[in-house]
């Protein structure tokens, strides 16, 4: 495989879902005879067709092989326990994978020649659940699926794919790096168990205008996170069209030490959710990627056909492939963003404050369960210059493992802090491992050592490697802590040898900590501790290539506890020397280090005497001086809080945009003194601020986790105000609710942030909300609507399959004789889709609601029986239908089939996780009004406030 890729560009196949659609399969087709009596619907479960319609799947593979694909993907994208459980078909996972691959293999063999061998990639999709984002707005630490769950799920799938004799494993459409890290972990385990190895490809999907994955990582942070794995290739697929992918592909291409693949959608989705970039158009963009030597493997995702693949194969033939750059010798880490630690980085600060053993305040907050305030400590460190955050939960009074998991999960919801890599600090292996299972970025384990001998050391190192983390190695061995120079360097040298030679650990991912021990204790044996550390740093840097050196700096000054200024000054002096010796990073109280040159000369000299052990009476002299400097400490915390002095509206804005909930209670209390009635605070300053969040998101200046956080702050503000709003309502004697609205995210869809916001906004406006939650089956919606006598039914959905489900609900409401108006909202929904597909199904008003802030106006208009409104909407939708009919009539025949297929995409491969976010670097300034209109129509994000009033 590798030798082939060194010579030429390989061609991957195109979409499966798009090709299945034109067959117009119905429920009985999916069931076949074998599943005729299966208790639940299986329609739309494309992977099942490998068993019930192998003829059809074989035919599609054949088309792609004829078009010239070198690699075809087996029909196994959703053949995992999690996705199949939606159809109660978990027990089929092994068979689906085995048969899916075997089917593809039998066709590939037929087309394989010595000149052009054909390969089958067993594809592993992302599953529908995220291991690093909470689906519950109210509980950011909650996870719908864990790393351990995913490892089992993926191991099962990998076994099936290997049983079917796949040539390659392809983890594609990665929207959450933690999910794919679990997949890679599982695959590695399976390879080890089965004593074999297959090439592994990983392909991520970028879903937002800021160029990030759904879980918030930039593309280079993503690359760092999976660089530990032995990959054949890394690449991008799905959500963005090829054109929008270009800058991210270019970046991957520049940095990735693997082959690079790309298989984009056929352009951006159109108004109806289909893809219509023609083979010619798309081929031009692919040609540019090839000419610029960005890629080694090209293919297609949603909406691409054998026609596309044929064009790509022709361009790829004879073209020069991209050259793979060598691996970096830097230590590369990541949170949501990447961090490079190398000679050019000077010194990397690791924030020490999220440590229950190192900060009384943090320990108290964790013990008392004040997680918001504990998180604020992480954020404060990031703001004051920490580049990595050390987290330590080792406390006798805590369940360290549970606390580590809870805090890291919570930290993931705090984008200002989650931007940074985490250093997981514990003396217990199970705590370290629990931490590794929470972090999508590339983290650092702090620490392991030879304390328990070589076997334990090797075993841990191997696992750390599999999890994809870097490691701090303390200078300890079976005899204990190294305190003198010789033992410090001997232990580090021994550990280095074992790690690099026996564990296959890359030297770049090793960080030595040759023990920063306390000086100035009055004990003579301690006097040379700092000097020995400095010498050890120099030796390690000169003799252990590419390894880094770190240490816990505050340990140095324990003897001067209570005199913070003196301690901080001592740290600065120490670091000044240590950095010159080559120390790369240190655990410090970031933001509290005075500048070396700013330390008064007299004090600095005295500190230097102590640190460098220049005179025997250094400690006494410093103690004499200590009183003088006792209260000089200046805290930085003061500066960070400057925004608190801004006027109220600006503070509210700041809190929402930055996602800071800490002061909401105070600010809302103050707002209530200035605004009356209380609801006007929501309608005024809060809505203004959230609108700005929407605009920033639209402009790519914020990314999803940040927006989610702002939504949480909004919710917190609303919670503060709610009792007052209700009291005011009661006082005004207007207790009668404006109406009763049923909210539900439709079956097959778990997204509810937008729906929850709509719920809040409506209930603030006196509506009684009955929220049925997510994944709500049609029957439940209809029976609840009947039994609870609701006035309006509101459906929400974020992913493409929800469009079909909504159509189903509308039809069933008609059949069930319901009369309530229907409101439609959510990312994939659009006015066009509503007009074309939903209105014809239901005779009562069906209205698409563009964003949460419109929901009140729409609901009011519907319930006050505003005839004009309903007539106007009907009229507008009728127009949309007509012009749509005309435009599709003018399409050439073939395209109609394709357009129809595209509109009805139902499988995951064909469904980007977040449609509107898939706009990429789209800037409205560069496009014609027509394109802009198209953009607007389908850019409905759950908070599409960004577009309000800005466009034609």
**Residues identified as active-site:** 749, 751, 802
CB 252 within 8 A of CB 235: yes
Decide: is 447 part of the binding site for ligand THG (CB under 6 A): yes
Residue from 167, 352, 771, 851 that binds ligand THG (CB under 6 A)?
Answer: 352
- Give whichever of 617 and 637 is closer to ligand THG, judged by the CB atom: 637
Give me the count of residues in the chain: 952
- Give whichever of 70 and 425 is closer to ligand THG, judged by the CB atom: 425
CB 425 within 8 A of CB 435: no
Residue from 303, 551, 685, 826 that binds ligand THG (CB under 6 A)?
Answer: 551
| Minimum gap (Å) between residue 366 Cβ and ligand THG | 13
From 90-98, 210-218, 356-364, 871-879, give the range in contact with ligand THG by CB under 6 A.
356-364
Residue from 561, 601, 789, 867 that binds ligand THG (CB under 6 A)?
Answer: 561
| Minimum gap (Å) between residue 633 Cβ and ligand THG | 12
Residue with tokens 């010619």: 280
| Minimum gap (Å) between residue 359 Cβ and ligand THG | 4
Decide: is 554 part of the binding site for ligand THG (CB under 6 A): yes
**Cis before 392 (ω within 30):** no
Q: β-strands 233-241, 259-265: how paired? A: parallel
CB 548 within 8 A of CB 584: yes
Q: Rounded CA gap, 667 and 290, in Å?
A: 55
- Give whichever of 407 and 877 is closer to ligand THG, judged by the CB atom: 407
CB 261 within 8 A of CB 295: yes
From 215-223, 232-240, 355-363, 762-770, give the range in contact with ligand THG by CB under 6 A.
355-363
Q: Rounded CA gap, 659 and 943, in Å?
A: 15
From 46-54, 158-166, 546-554, 699-707, give the range in contact with ligand THG by CB under 6 A.
546-554
783 C-beta neighbours (distance < 10 Å), count: 12
| Minimum gap (Å) between residue 507 Cβ and ligand THG | 18
Q: Rounded CA gap, 360 and 353, in Å?
A: 9
Furthest CA-CA distance within the chain = 95
From 484-492, 500-508, 549-557, 846-854, give the range in contact with ligand THG by CB under 6 A.
549-557
Per residue, the 3-state secondary structure of 656-688, as one string, reads: HHHCCCCCHHHHHHHHHHHCCCCHHHHHHHHHH
| Minimum gap (Å) between residue 698 Cβ and ligand THG | 41
- Please give the structure tokens belonging to residue 251: 């970046």
Roughly how many angstroms between the first and final C-alpha of the chain, as a whole number?
Answer: 51
Q: Which residues pair with 351 in a beta bridge?
A: 389, 588
CA separation, residue 884 to residues 824, 837, 940 (Å): 20, 11, 19
Give the residue among 682, 704, 678 at the shortest CA–CA distance from 693. 704
Decide: is 552 part of the binding site for ligand THG (CB under 6 A): yes
- Please give the structure tokens belonging to residue 471: 């490691």
CB 822 within 8 A of CB 793: yes
From 89-97, 190-198, 553-561, 734-742, give the range in contact with ligand THG by CB under 6 A.
553-561
- Please give the structure tokens belonging to residue 133: 């984002």
CA separation, residue 110 to residues 62, 103, 117, 457, 729 (Å): 9, 11, 10, 50, 74
Decide: is 361 part of the binding site for ligand THG (CB under 6 A): yes
| Minimum gap (Å) between residue 444 Cβ and ligand THG | 9
| Minimum gap (Å) between residue 512 Cβ and ligand THG | 10
From 18-26, 337-345, 547-555, 871-879, give the range in contact with ligand THG by CB under 6 A.
547-555
Positions in 388-417 near ligand THG (CB under 6 A): none
Decide: is 82 part of the binding site for ligand THG (CB under 6 A): no
Q: β-strands 331-334, 297-298: how paired? A: unpaired
List, in order, residues 6 or more apart from 402 with CB less than 8 Å away: none
Decide: is 749 part of the binding site for ligand THG (CB under 6 A): no
- Give whichever of 552 and 797 is closer to ligand THG, judged by the CB atom: 552
Q: Which residues pair with 259 in a beta bridge?
A: 233
- Please give the structure tokens belonging to residue 549: 């050196």
Decide: is 532 part of the binding site for ligand THG (CB under 6 A): no
From 375-383, 554-562, 619-627, 831-839, give the range in contact with ligand THG by CB under 6 A.
554-562
Decide: is 359 part of the binding site for ligand THG (CB under 6 A): yes
CA separation, residue 228 to residues 1, 124, 170, 337, 659 (Å): 20, 19, 16, 17, 33
Decide: is 179 part of the binding site for ligand THG (CB under 6 A): no
- Give whichever of 234 and 587 is closer to ligand THG, judged by the CB atom: 587
- Give whichever of 589 and 619 is closer to ligand THG, judged by the CB atom: 589
CA 738 to chain centre: 39
For the purposes of burial, counting CB atoms within 10 Å of the CB of 799, is it exposed (0-12), middle (13-18) or buried (19 or more)? buried
CA separation, residue 258 to residues 1, 255, 321, 324, 325 (Å): 13, 9, 12, 6, 8
What does 711-756 look like in DSSP terms, one character per residue?
Answer: HHHHHHHHHHHHHHHHHHHHHTT--S-SEEEEEEEBTT----HHHH
- What is the total count of residues that contact ligand THG (CB under 6 A)? 19
Q: Rounded CA gap, 580 and 575, in Å?
A: 8
Residue from 37, 91, 195, 360 that binds ligand THG (CB under 6 A)?
Answer: 360
- Give whichever of 334 and 550 is closer to ligand THG, judged by the CB atom: 550
Decide: is 586 part of the binding site for ligand THG (CB under 6 A): no
| Minimum gap (Å) between residue 570 Cβ and ligand THG | 11
| Minimum gap (Å) between residue 351 Cβ and ligand THG | 9
From 258-266, 552-560, 630-638, 865-873, give the range in contact with ligand THG by CB under 6 A.
552-560
CB 73 within 8 A of CB 46: no
Residue from 358, 591, 685, 825 that binds ligand THG (CB under 6 A)?
Answer: 358
Decide: is 516 part of the binding site for ligand THG (CB under 6 A): yes
- Give whichever of 255 and 567 is closer to ligand THG, judged by the CB atom: 567
- Give whichever of 16 and 391 is closer to ligand THG, judged by the CB atom: 391
Decide: is 435 part of the binding site for ligand THG (CB under 6 A): no
- Give whichever of 91 and 561 is closer to ligand THG, judged by the CB atom: 561
Decide: is 446 part of the binding site for ligand THG (CB under 6 A): yes
CB 629 within 8 A of CB 599: no
From 551-559, 699-707, 734-742, 925-933, give the range in contact with ligand THG by CB under 6 A.
551-559
CB 300 within 8 A of CB 336: no
| Minimum gap (Å) between residue 445 Cβ and ligand THG | 10
Decide: is 469 part of the binding site for ligand THG (CB under 6 A): no
- Please give the structure tokens belonging to residue 463: 């696992």
Decide: is 355 part of the binding site for ligand THG (CB under 6 A): yes
| Minimum gap (Å) between residue 571 Cβ and ligand THG | 10
List, in order, residues 6 or more apart from 552 with CB less than 8 Å away: 352, 513, 516, 586, 587
| Minimum gap (Å) between residue 182 Cβ and ligand THG | 27
**Which parts of 412-540 are beta strand (E)?**
422-425, 444-448, 470-474, 476-477, 480-481, 510-513
Question: Which positions from 305 to 344 touch ligand THG by CB under 6 A, shown as an x/- string?
Answer: ----------------------------------------
- Give whichever of 84 and 515 is closer to ligand THG, judged by the CB atom: 515
Q: What angle do CA 339, 173, 936 make, to 5 degrees?
A: 95
Decide: is 425 part of the binding site for ligand THG (CB under 6 A): yes
Decide: is 587 part of the binding site for ligand THG (CB under 6 A): yes
| Minimum gap (Å) between residue 416 Cβ and ligand THG | 21
95 C-beta neighbours (distance < 10 Å), count: 16
Applying CB under 6 A, which residues contact ligand THG? 352, 355, 358-361, 425, 446-447, 472, 474, 513, 516, 551-552, 554-555, 561, 587
């Amino acid at each position: 495989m590798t030798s082939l890729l060194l010579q030429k560009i390989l061609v991957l196949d195109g979409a499966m879902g798009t090709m299945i659609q034109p067959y117009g399969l119905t429920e009985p087709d999916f069931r076949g005879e074998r599943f005729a009596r299966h208790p639940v619907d299986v329609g739309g479960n494309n992977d099942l067709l490998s068993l019930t319609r192998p003829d059809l799947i074989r035919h599609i593979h054949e088309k792609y092989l004829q078009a010239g694909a070198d690699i075809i993907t087996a029909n196994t994208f959703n053949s995992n326990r999690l996705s199949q459980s939606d159809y109660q078909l978990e027990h089929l996972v092994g068979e689906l994978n085995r048969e899916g691959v075997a089917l593809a293999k039998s066709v590939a063999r037929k087309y394989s020649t010595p000149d052009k061998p054909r390969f089958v990639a067993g594809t592993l999709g992302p599953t529908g659940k995220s291991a690093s984002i909470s689906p519950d707005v109210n509980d950011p630490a909650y996870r719908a699926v864990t790393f351990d769950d995913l490892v089992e799920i993926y191991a099962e799938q990998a076994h099936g794919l290997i049983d079917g004799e796949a040539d390659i494993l392809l983890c594609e459409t990665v929207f959450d790096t933690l999910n794919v890290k679990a997949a890679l972990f599982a695959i590695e385990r399976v390879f080890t168990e089965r004593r074999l190895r297959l090439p592994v490809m990983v392909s991520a999907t970028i879903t937002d205008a800021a160029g990030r994955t759904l879980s918030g990582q930039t593309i280079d942070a993503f690359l760092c996170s999976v660089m530990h794995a032995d990959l054949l290739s890394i690449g991008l697929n799905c959500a963005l069209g090829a054109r929008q992918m270009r800058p991210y592909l270019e970046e991957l291409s520049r940095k990735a030490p693997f082959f690079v693949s790309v298989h984009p959608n056929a352009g951006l989705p159109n108004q109806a959710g289909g893809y219509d970039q023609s083979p010619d158009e798309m081929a031009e963009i692919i040609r540019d990627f090839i000419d610029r030597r960005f890629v080694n493997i090209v293919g297609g995702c949603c909406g691409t056909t054998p026609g596309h693949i044929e064009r790509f194969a022709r361009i790829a033939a004879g073209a020069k492939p991209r050259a793979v750059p060598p691996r970096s010798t830097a230590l590369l880490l990541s949170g949501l963003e990447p961090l490079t630690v190398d000679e050019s980085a000077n010194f990397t600060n690791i924030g020490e404050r999220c440590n229950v053993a190192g900060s009384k305040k943090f320990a108290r907050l964790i013990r008392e369960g004040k997680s918001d305030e504990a998180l604020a400590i992480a954020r404060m460190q990031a703001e004051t210059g920490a580049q990595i955050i050390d987290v330590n939960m080792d406390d006798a009074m805590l369940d360290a493992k549970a606390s580590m998991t809870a805090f890291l999960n919570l930290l993931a919801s705090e984008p200002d802090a989650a931007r940074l890599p985490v250093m997981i600090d514990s003396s217990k292996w199970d705590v370290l491992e629990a931490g590794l299972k929470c972090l999508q970025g590339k983290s650092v384990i702090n620490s392991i050592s030879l304390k328990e001998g070589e076997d334990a050391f090797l075993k841990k190192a191997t696992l750390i490697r599999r999890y994809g983390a870097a490691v701090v190695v303390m200078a300890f061995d079976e005899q204990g802590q190294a305190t003198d120079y010789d033992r410090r360097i001997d232990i580090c040298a021994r550990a280095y040898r074992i790690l690099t030679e026996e564990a296959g650990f890359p030297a770049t991912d090793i960080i030595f900590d040759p023990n920063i021990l306390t000086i100035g204790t009055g004990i003579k044996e301690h006097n040379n501790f700092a000097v020995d550390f400095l010498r050890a740093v120099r030796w390690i840097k000169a003799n252990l290539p590419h390894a880094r050196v770190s240490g816990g700096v505050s340990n140095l000054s324990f003897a001067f506890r209570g005199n913070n200024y003196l301690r901080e000054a001592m740290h600065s002096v120490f670091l000044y020397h240590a950095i010159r010796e080559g120390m790369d990073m240190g655990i410090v109280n970031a933001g509290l280090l005075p500048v070396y040159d700013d330390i008064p000369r007299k004090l600095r000299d005295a500190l230097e005497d102590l640190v460098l052990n220049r005179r025997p009476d250094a400690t006494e002299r410093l103690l004499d001086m200590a009183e003088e400097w006792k209260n000089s400490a200046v805290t930085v915390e003061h500066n960070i809080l400057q925004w608190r002095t801004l006027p109220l509206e600006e503070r509210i804005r700041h809190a929402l945009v930055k996602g800071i909930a800490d002061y909401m209670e105070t600010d809302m209390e103050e707002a209530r003194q200035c605004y009356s009635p209380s609801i006007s605070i929501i309608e005024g300053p809060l809505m203004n601020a959230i609108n700005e969040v929407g605009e920033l998101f639209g402009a790519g200046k914020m990314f999803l986790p940040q927006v989610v956080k702002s939504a949480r702050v909004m919710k917190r503000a609303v919670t503060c105000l709610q009792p007052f709003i209700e009291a005011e309502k009661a006082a005004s004697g207007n207790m009668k609710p404006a109406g009763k609205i049923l909210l539900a995210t439709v079956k097959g869809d778990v997204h509810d942030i937008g729906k929850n916001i709509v719920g809040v906004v409506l209930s603030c406006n006196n509506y009684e909300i009955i929220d049925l939650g997510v994944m709500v089956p049609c029957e439940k919606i209809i029976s609840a609507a009947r039994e609870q006598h609701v006035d309006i039914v509101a459906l929400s959905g974020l992913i493409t399959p929800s469009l079909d489900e909504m159509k189903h609900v509308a039809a069933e409401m008609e059949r069930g004789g319901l009369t309530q108006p229907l409101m439609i909202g959510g990312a994939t929904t659009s006015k066009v889709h509503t007009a074309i597909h939903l209105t014809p199904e239901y005779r009562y008003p069906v209205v698409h609601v563009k964003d949460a802030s419109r929901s009140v106006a729409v609901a009011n208009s519907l319930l006050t029986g505003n005839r004009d409104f309903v007539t106007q909407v009907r009229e507008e939708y009728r127009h949309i239908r007509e012009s749509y009919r005309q435009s599709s009539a003018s399409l050439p025949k073939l395209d109609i089939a394709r357009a129809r297929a595209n509109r009805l995409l139902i499988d995951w491969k064909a469904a980007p996780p977040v449609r509107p976010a898939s706009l990429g670097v789209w800037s409205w300034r560069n496009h014609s009004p027509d394109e802009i209109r198209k953009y607007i129509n389908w850019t409905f994000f759950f908070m599409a406030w960004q577009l309000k009033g800005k466009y034609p």
